[in-house]
Chain A
Amino acid sequence: MSQLAPPFMIEERQSLRRRTTVALGAVVLLTVLFETFGVVGFVYRTEQDAWQSRQLEVAHNAAGTVEAFLRHVQEDMTLVGLLDRGYLETHPQIMADILGQNQALLEVVRLDDAGRVFASAYRETAPVLANQFTLAQSSWFLQARNGEQYTGDVQISAGDEPYIILSQPVADGGVVAARLRMDVLWDVVARIRFGKTGQAYVVDQAGHVVAHPEREVVLARTSVSGSAEMAFALEAAGRGWRGMYRNLQGVNVTGVTVPIADSDWVIFTEIPEHEVLATTRRALMLLGGGTVLLGLLLGLVSDRLLRRLILRRVSKLRDGAECIGRGDLDHRLEIQHMDEIGQVAAAFNVMAGRLQERETALAQARDEALAASRFKSRILANVSHDLRTPLNGILGYADMLQEGVYGPLNARQQAAEARILAHARHLVSLIDSLLDQALLEDNRLELSRLPFSPAAVLDEVESIMGVMAQKKGLALITEVDPALPDTLTGDSRRLRQIMVNLVENAVKFTEQGQVRVRLYPEAARWVIEVTDTGRGIPAAAQATIFDPFQQVDGSTTREKRGVGLGLSIVRQLTALMGGEIHLASQVGQGSTFAVALPLLAQGEKVA
């Protein structure tokens, strides 16, 4: 039974489990990614929209607040402008009243077209507007006298009070001007709050920050013009601009700019990006984390399912198939469910059944063939044995006749008697060969292991074969290497048979020259070497020459006597003795047969 290769190893990379897990993981991951992007994108857009409308609303409200503040101041200035010079000069108290009613005003002045102050009121220790010698050249005067409103930059008074100068024309060609307390506006702006960290501030047309929740920004005369994005936001305020930029504090914000009516100011409302994206970020975290967890869970569950439903059963299937492969054809795979895997198992079972049937049939055929072969061998052995018994009788009587036991024979009778003996001996040797072959085939030939003298055996061979060689005019030379032990252990009869067969073969196929037999030790073996000067054996025939019933020319020629068993028996006896036979031959030059046998000293056993 052929042994199957050890269980087929699977590279981790190629395992079904790994591949399905990777594929499934990829699908889950993609789904999760798309879903997350979709949901988060939706949340992001919704949040942005909400912030946009809210921020615009806040911006407009803030603009409205600043507008109202300015309008209040402007209304007071317009009122001052409406009062004529005479009335004002007669009622100087009215200016102080107006100032007293508007906390934002630091100073109000009324000037004629030449720039002379004729009515004024102020809140601080010293007037600023009314006290200027170069009043007629100041831009607030000149611009208002030319019929335009003027809004100045933020300045700081001697009393550390931030203010701006406003002026506007009066119908009589004069000018009304006021100093506006900025901290009031700043308070107004600082109170504009939205979201958690949203802020608003006011910037004039030149880009200077006029009002800011942080005073220092204004006091440092900070300008938004330094940032291209903010400069653009300022310019685009007329359209109600909204966009993202890095603000004055270096924070990324979403801003909205709205113009303040009746002024050249613009209000910026800003909300930091991290607040704008707070919901989106939370959604991303929740969704992302949730889906990753879900993906892991899904992966685990699918792995478990895959293992339980498929992999464990497939590996059982493999074990079972290997079991059958190893030759256990009685093994049947267990079928739990008749699904696809169950079908494979069933197909394996059917296959195992067929294999079993075939093996049974083969074993039966083999047993029959073996029985037939054994029967043949036994018949052959019995027949040979039965043939030999009467032959031994013939030999014995012929021998006795020749020895004169039954009276002297004349010359012709002697010759006939010799012929009878020769033919009978030949017949005995043929039958012996057949018997040996039959015993060898049937593994019934037993070897004895007794001490013997190799030289004596060789002497016997010489005496048996000498006559035959002599008749052909061949020299039979025997040699025993002095290094060979005098006594060896083995089956001397079978060793003699090996030598006789080899020498007989050599004599048969040699027409002239010599046959040499040499016995010599070689390492742990001893060698029987038979060399002839015969016709040689072609290379093609060398492979089959040891097969039973073969002779050199392939045809079982009757030209040479024998049934072609000699070399076959030699080879089989040699093998039985644990030795080897070698043949070296060249056509026309001769052949050398060398039988190498284990060298067993007396008493040693064959391993």
Chain B
Amino acid sequence: MTYRLALIIEDEIDLAEIFSQALQAAGFTTEVITRGDSAMTRLDEIEPEVIVLDLHLPGVDGSVILRHIRGDARLVDIKVIVASADAALAQSLDIDADLTLLKPVSFSQLRDLAMRLG
């Protein structure tokens, strides 16, 4: 079995747990980071296959992280799932995510989506 890493950047621990469980159920190994700035540092070290990204984050904003990922040749192929409670904000992003989910994102919904990510 290949090692598939999913990085979950979400400051709400319960949501992070739900996302984490859903992705594990879809066959990923998960890692949770609750701060934007920590996530930026961590992304220098790892190359996850999937990132679940919240937009409201302490430290560095989710949109900045998305721009960083899309601007980095090493990271550009990562599948990014944006999870936000604010539909308008999610739509206003100048760089497209692979998938935008509006909160609340249910466990089964995210699990089913993650399974389909080939």
Stretch at the interface among B1-9, B14-22, B36-44, B69-77: B14-22
How many angstroms between the C-alpha atoms of A606 and B76 in the bound complex? 35
Indicate if the CB atoms of A405 and B103 lie closer than 8 Å: no
B side interface size, CB within 8 A: 18
A400 and B21 in contact (CB under 8 A), knowing A392-B15, A393-B14, A395-B106?
A: yes
Q: Tell me the smallest distance from the CB of A113 to a CB of chain B, in Å.
A: 162
Residue of A nearest to B86 (CB): A446
Q: Is A463 in the interface zone, CB < 8 Å from B?
A: no
Specify which chain A residues have a CB less than 8 angstroms from the CB of B102 in the assembled complex: 493
**B residues in contact with A493, CB < 8 Å:** 87, 102
B12 touches A403 (CB 8 A): no
- What is the interface of chain B mostly: helix, strand, loop, or mixed? helix
A389 contacts which chain B residues (CB < 8 A)? 12
Q: What 1/0 flags go to A389-432 for Cβ under 8 Å of B?
A: 10111011101100101000000000000000000000010000
- Contact check, A396 vs B91: say whether CB atoms are below 8 A apart: no
Chain A residues with CB under 8 A of B106:
395-396, 399
B25: which A residues are within 8 A, CB to CB? 403, 405
Q: How would residues 164 to 204 of chain A score, 1 for a CB under 8 Å from any chain B CB and 0 otherwise?
A: 00000000000000000000000000000000000000000
Interface size on A, residues (CB 8 A): 18
Q: Which of A385, A395, A448 contacts B91 (CB 8 A)?
A: A448
Please state if A397 and B88 are interface contacts (CB–CB under 8 Å).
no
Chain B residues with CB under 8 A of A385: 85
Q: Does any Cβ of B come within 8 Å of A450's Cβ?
A: yes
Quick one: closest B residue to A389, CB to CB?
A: B12
- Interchain CB contact under 8 A, B21 and A405: yes
Total residue contacts A-B, CB cutoff 8 A: 45
A125 to B52, CA, bound (A): 172
Residue interface bits A364-404, CB-to-B below 8 A is 1, else 0: 00000000000000000000010011011101110110010
A448's partner among B15, B18, B87, B104 (CB-CB below 8 A) is: B87
Instruction: Give A384 to B106 CA distance when docked, in angstroms.
Output: 19
- Residue numbers in A under 8 Å from B12 (CB-CB): 389, 393
Could you tell me the distance between the alpha carbons of A428 and B106 in the complex, rounded to whole angstroms?
A: 13
Q: In the complex, how many angstroms separate the beta carbon of B8 from the nearest chain A beta carbon? A: 13
Closest to B90 in A: A448
Given A400-B18, A448-B87, also A405-B104 (CB < 8 A): no
Contact digits for A298-332, partner B, Cβ 8 Å, 1 yes 0 no:
00000000000000000000000000000000000
Q: Which residues of B does A touch, CB under 8 Å?
A: 12, 14-15, 17-18, 21, 25, 85, 87-88, 91, 102-104, 106-108, 111
15 further A-B contacts with Cβ under 8 Å, apart from A396-B15, A397-B14, are: A392-B14, A392-B15, A392-B104, A393-B12, A393-B14, A393-B15, A396-B18, A396-B104, A396-B107, A400-B18, A400-B21, A400-B107, A403-B25, A403-B108, A493-B102
